[in-house]
Amino acid sequence: MRSLWPSGGLWRHPDFLKLWAGETISMFGSQVDDLALGLVAILVLDASAFEVAVLGTLNFLPFILFALPAGVWVDRLRRRPILIGSDVARAALLATIPLAYAIDALTLWHLYAVVFLVGLCQVFFDVAYQSYLPSLVERDQIMEGNSKLEVSRSAAQVTGPGLAGALVEIFTAPYAVLVDALSFVASALFLVGIRKREDPPVRAVTANGSKPSVLGDLREGIAFVLANPNLRAQAGCTASSNFFSSLAFAIVLVFFVRELGLSAGVIGAIFSIGAAGSLIAALTARRIAGRFGIGPTSIAMAALFGPSFLLVAFAPAGHAALPFLVAAQLVFGFTVVVYNIAQVSYRQAICPPRLQGRMNSVMRFMVWGTIPPGTLLGGALATWLGLRGTIVVGALGGGLAFLWLVFSPQRHLRKLPEPIADDTAPEPTPA
């Protein structure tokens, strides 16, 4: 009898399936978290627009403070234990929010501390995760792996916000956060079940035969990224887009609740319906990049990031806003996911294994390091230009990010190139 389970590619890769399953559960939980934490601040703690923006800033501030040293340690240690530890720590931290609420001890400063520490764990998880995937699957399976993971992310974005909105309305926002804590526990359990033995980390040696210092390792990672014109352009494009989109995202929940008059359930439904664009993108990104080339596809997607937010800025109040908001989410979700799959797969494919952690940490530092100042500026602009005016600034600024790619060799990039030769790599020895 023919099996109903797909037989091609990574569908028959048990260790990848465990990674995928764990991440899928965690992504669904994180969708609840993304909405619930903001609503805890707005509805439970009565936070102002600027205080909500500070919450978003603290979530990404660890990427400025810790991303670069995290990359060094990810390259010195095995990556799977880092992933498991990060999941367990995030679960414990998030569980303190419903606990504090239950005993009437929840404060805005508690929320700030949890968000910052969860962001710190996210730094180590993201750097280790993007570095671990190329060692778990074959090189020609990297884009397939990223596409499958984006399918899960997009599916979570389709159903997660609706679920989050319902949970918030039924159980209140603090108790909805508990769902995300449990999802990180599930993710850790699946990672524990991966059986493929991870190779010992490989470190370079200096001219006198000694191991390089942390600073020396960090300089090597920075030099690798800055020496590659395609990575420089990718970093510039993504960093610019993230700055302006975070400027708008910082106050968009406040805009939905206080200016458009939308409930938590309606907001969750908008994100869920709009996220169908992300799901379509995850299913078609490989074919799109194969048909038009990685560079041209990335340029086209980046050109649509920012302008989609104009639909949000000009949405009328009440339920008449729904078509505008859903359309904006569809366009934004589709373009971001196609862009991310193409760009992340490119840099994973070209980087030598021993530099994956540092390359990813440098890229994370550059592209996510613009988010905290963006969110703070968004909160400040909201008090000066108003909520709609701030979203317009984010849309117009983000619309120019694609120029980084246009004026770089990226525009000629058609397919994944061969890995860059690593002439300085030593023989593999445990770090």
Q: Mapped to the 3 state alphabet, what secondary structure does 213-226 carry?
A: CHHHHHHHHHHHHH
- Checking if the pLDDT of 333 tops 50, the result is yes
What is the C-alpha separation between 98 and 106, in angstroms, rounded? 8
Mean pLDDT over each residue of the chain, to the nearest integer: 83
- Residue with more model confidence, 332 or 143: 332
Residue pair 160/28 in contact (Cβ under 8 Å)? The answer is yes
Q: Is 313 strand, coil or helix?
A: helix
Per residue in 183-197, pLDDT (tens digit) is 899 999 999 998 888
Residue 291: Cβ within 10 Å count: 10
Mean pLDDT of 347-366: 85
pLDDT of residue 92 exceeding 90, the answer is yes
Res 428: pLDDT: 43
The burial class, CB within 10 Å (0-12 / 13-18 / 19+), for 62 is: buried
Q: DSSP letter at 43?
A: I
Out of 9-18, 116-125, 143-152, 350-359, give the one with best mean pLDDT. 116-125
pLDDT in tens, 217-260: 888 889 999 999 999 999 999 999 999 999 998 888 889 988 89
- pLDDT on residue 205: 57
Element of type H or E holding 165: helix 142-171
**Residue 373 CB-density burial (10 A; 0-12 exposed, 13-18 middle, 19+ buried):** middle
For residue 254, what is the enclosing H or E element?
helix 229-254
Q: Who wins on pLDDT, 77 or 232? A: 232
DSSP 8-state assignment for residue 103: T
What pLDDT shows up at residue 6? 62
Report the range of poorest mean pLDDT among 90-104, 267-281, 304-318, 353-367: 267-281
- Are the beta carbons of 132 and 22 closer than 8 angstroms? no
- Return the pLDDT at 299: 93
Number of domains in the chain: 1
Please give the Cα distance from 273 to 263 (Å, whole number).
16
Q: Which pLDDT value is given to residue 431?
A: 44
278 belongs to a structural domain:
yes
Residue 75: domain span = 13-196+222-412
- Whether residue 202 is contained in a domain is answered as no
Read off the pLDDT band of 407 (50, 70, 90).
very high
What pLDDT shows up at residue 1? 42
Q: Which residue has the higher pLDDT, 324 or 431?
A: 324
N residues, the chain: 431
Does residue 210 sit within a domain? no
CATH of the domain at 188: 1.20.1250.20
